[in-house]
Amino acid sequence: MAEGNRGNDGGPAADGPVTAEGDSDSGGRPWSNWAITLATLLAPTTFIGALLLYFGFAYTDALYAHFGVDAATLGFSTQDYALRSAGALYVPAGTALTVALVAVLVYYAARALGARSGRLPPGGRFAPYLLSVCGLVLFALGMLGGLGVWDAGAMDTPLLLGSGLVLVVYGRALFFKLSGADYPVARERLALALVAALVGLSSFWAVHAYAKQHGDDDARYLARNLWLRPAVTVDTPERLYFPPRQARETVLPVADHPQRFRYRYEGLRLLAEVNGRMFLIPENWSETGGSVLVIPAGNTVRVAFRAD
C-alpha cells in the first residue's frame, strides 16, 4: 500500500521522466528563440527589398514609357532598379518609419500600463476601440473606392485598405496589453495571416501607383527640360533617317584618304545608356511624332559629348 501510494503521489520514480522532459524543452528553447528572432529580422527586410525593386521597375517603366520606350528593352539590372528607387522614397519611407516608431512606443506604453494592474488614464479603455472603429471605417472606404462607389485616387484605395486593417489589429493588440494579457496569436493565426497578406498586397498596389505617378511627373519635367541631359554628336558611315526637323544632318567632306564616317548628326541628347546601347532623343522631341534612336556604343559609330 505504501509503494502504491508513493507511485500515485508522484514519488522519485515518477519525477525522473518529467525532469528529463523539462530539460529537453529548456535546452531547445534558445534555438527556437534564435529562429524566431532571425525570422523577425529577415521577413521585413525581404519585404522592403521586394518593394524597392518593384518600385524601381514601375518607376522606370512609367518614365521611359512617356518617350515611347518599353522598360524591358532597356535591360536594367536588379541593382539599377534598386538605385533608381532610392531617391524617390526618402519622404514616404521616412514618414512610414516615423509612424511605425510612434506606434511601437505607444504599444510599449500600453504594455507598461497593463502590467501595473492599476487605474488607467481617462479614455485609456476606449482608445483601442476607437482605433479599431477608425480602421473599420477606413477599410470600408477603401472597399467602396475600389468598387467605384466614390472617386478614389490611384493611391487612395490601397492606402485605405492597408491602413484600415493595420489599425484594426493594432487597436486589438492595445486592448490586450492594457488588460495585462497577451495577444492570442495562436488562436487567431489564420486571421492574422490573411491580414498580413492583404496588407502586403495593398503595399505593392500603393507602391505601383506612387511609382507610376512619380515616373510620369519626372518624364514630363524631363521632356520640358531636355537640356539637362548630355548633348551628343554622332558620326555614322550610313545615313540615319530621322523625322523631319528632329536632328541636324551634316555630310562630312570626303578626304583624300579613305574615310569611314560620312554623316554627322547633332541636336541629340542622351536619354539612357545601358548594356552597350545608347538611347538618343532629339532636343526638340514632342509627344506627337517624337522618336528615340537606339545605337550601339561601339566602333560602328563615333560619339562625342558636347558641353552646352
Task: Of 187-191, 201-205, 243-247, give the lowest mean pLDDT range.
Answer: 243-247
pLDDT tens-digit series, residues 221-254? 999 999 999 999 999 988 888 777 788 888 888 7
**What is the per-residue pLDDT for 230?**
92
Strands 277-282 and 248-251, bridge-based pairing: unpaired
Same domain, 159 and 258: no
Show the domain range for 172: 15-224
Same domain, 241 and 270: yes
Does the structure show a pLDDT above 90 at 114?
Answer: no
- Answer with the one of 224, 251, 277 that is the final residue of a domain: 224
Q: Which of 173, 185, 186 is nearest to 108 (CA)?
A: 173
In a domain, 194, yes or no: yes
| Average predicted confidence (pLDDT) for the chain | 82
Does the structure show a pLDDT above 50 at 5?
Answer: no
Same domain, 216 and 236: no
Same domain, 102 and 145: yes
Same domain, 121 and 260: no
Same domain, 150 and 168: yes
Question: Which residues lie across from 268 on neighbouring strands?
Answer: 232, 282
Q: Which amino acid is at 215?
A: G
Same domain, 204 and 264: no
| Residue 195: pLDDT band with limits 50, 70, 90 | very high
d(CA 267, CA 219): 19
What is the biggest distance separating any 2 CA atoms in the chain, rounded to whole angstroms? 125
Total structural domains within the chain:
2
Same domain, 152 and 191: yes
Higher pLDDT, 2 or 268: 268
Instruction: Identify the sign of the CA torsion 173, 176, 181, 186.
Output: negative
Same domain, 43 and 92: yes
In a domain, 8, yes or no: no
In a domain, 99, yes or no: yes
Residues 287-299 have a mean pLDDT of: 83
Same domain, 86 and 233: no
Same domain, 64 and 183: yes
Instruction: Identify the sign of the CA torsion 103, 108, 114, 119.
Output: negative
**What is the per-residue pLDDT for 28?**
47
Q: Which of 200, 177, 269, 260 is nearest to 232 (CA)?
A: 269
Does the structure show a pLDDT above 70 at 36?
Answer: no
Same domain, 70 and 203: yes
Q: How many C-beta atoms surround the C-beta of residue 224 within 10 A?
A: 9
Strands 263-274 and 277-282, bridge-based pairing: antiparallel
**What is the per-residue pLDDT for 17?**
45
- Answer with the one of 192, 224, 256 that is the final residue of a domain: 224
In a domain, 4, yes or no: no
Residues 261-290 have a mean pLDDT of: 88
- Answer with the one of 173, 199, 224 that is the final residue of a domain: 224
In a domain, 3, yes or no: no
CA distances from 259 to 117, 241, 263, 295, 298 (A): 92, 21, 11, 20, 17
Higher pLDDT, 20 or 183: 183
Does the structure show a pLDDT above 80 at 211?
Answer: yes
